[in-house]
Amino acid sequence: MHAEWHRAEPRPFVARAYGGVVIDDRRRVLLREPTNHFGGYCWTFAKGGADEGESPSDAALREVREETGWACEAIAEIDGWFVGTTSDTKFFLMAPLEDHGDFHHETASVRWASFEEAAELIAQTTVGGGRERDLAVLAAAAAMLSHPSGRVGAR
């Protein structure tokens, strides 16, 4: 694990965000392309802050739906917090349920990629902290799937 991008607990006084790593039954990862590569991100995971009273998993599910158009099921919490440039993020492993086909204007496009392709796409991000954080998230998701109890896929 990339120790500098992964922590057991979030940093104090840093914003918290929640996101999803969506993996289909073909072991492909769903990535989003931020509009105009906002913040230097070329391809990344859906994530964002929680609304008041919203649980972490519900916030992650909402962010995935808003930013990718996909309704999903949260399968498992990915261990720890992932350090970004503006927030510490808790990610959830998710399975896709339904593509609603619409996503927020903050997203230019979405695409499914193998883990290898996803790493190559994420590596295009120009902001080092975000790129390294997302690669650490991808590695953590892959490690969870390699565990005998790892399961994903549409229902």
pLDDT for the residue 1 = 46
- CA–CA separation, 62 vs 20, rounded Å? 10
State pLDDT tens for residues 60-90.
Answer: 999 999 999 999 999 999 999 999 888 899 9
Alpha helices for 24-127 (secondary structure H) = 56-68, 115-122
Write the pLDDT tens digit of every residue in 15-48: 999 999 999 999 999 999 999 998 889 999 999 9
Strand locations in 11-150, DSSP E?
15-22, 29-34, 46-48, 70-77, 81-83, 87-99, 107-113
On whether the pTM is more than 0.85, the answer is yes
Is the pLDDT at 132 greater than 80, yes or no? yes
In DSSP terms, which residues pair with 107 in a beta bridge? Answer: 34
